[in-house]
């Protein structure tokens, strides 16, 4: 039996039940992947149409993550995770991408 799939399915049902009983609010971080700090040095070539004619062979060192960069999702997760943990959220024991915070009658799931 695939336990990970089983627990993910149970988690989805738990979320559905919670939403039906408590109400639900959602958000979208439109530029999420542009906010993450990179762990490693990443260099990119000059994009077509933006090549410096004086230095056509120069490359650029990225300061932040970009969309389509394979490191971008991890950089965003690391930043979000560290912020949520600093705000008294805890990581789910089965799914480390689920963050939970309870206060009085509210349950916050991210």
Q: Give per-residue pLDDT as tens, 37-47.
A: 899 999 999 98
- Give yes or no for a contact between 35 and 64, defined as CB atoms under 8 angstroms apart: yes
- Give yes or no for a contact between 59 and 70, defined as CB atoms under 8 angstroms apart: no
pTM for this prediction? 0.67
Diameter of the chain by CA atoms?
A: 63
E-state strands within the chain: 43-45, 59-61, 90-91, 99-103, 106-109
Q: Give per-residue pLDDT as tens, 84-106.
A: 999 999 998 878 888 999 888 88
Residue with tokens 């958000």: 27
CA distance 32 to 67: 9
Higher-scoring residue by pLDDT: 106, 62: 62
């Amino acid at each position: 039996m695939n336990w990970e799939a089983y627990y993910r399915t149970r988690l989805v049902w738990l979320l559905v039940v919670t939403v039906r009983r408590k109400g639900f609010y959602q958000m979208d971080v439109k530029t999420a992947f542009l906010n993450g700090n990179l762990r490693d040095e990443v260099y990119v070539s000059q994009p077509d149409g933006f090549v410096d004619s004086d230095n056509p062979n120069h490359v650029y060192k990225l300061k932040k993550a970009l969309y389509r960069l394979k490191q971008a999702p991890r950089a965003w997760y690391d930043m979000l995770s560290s912020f949520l943990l600093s705000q008294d959220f805890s990581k789910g024991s089965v799914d480390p991408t689920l963050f939970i915070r309870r206060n009085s009658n509210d349950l916050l799931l991210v």
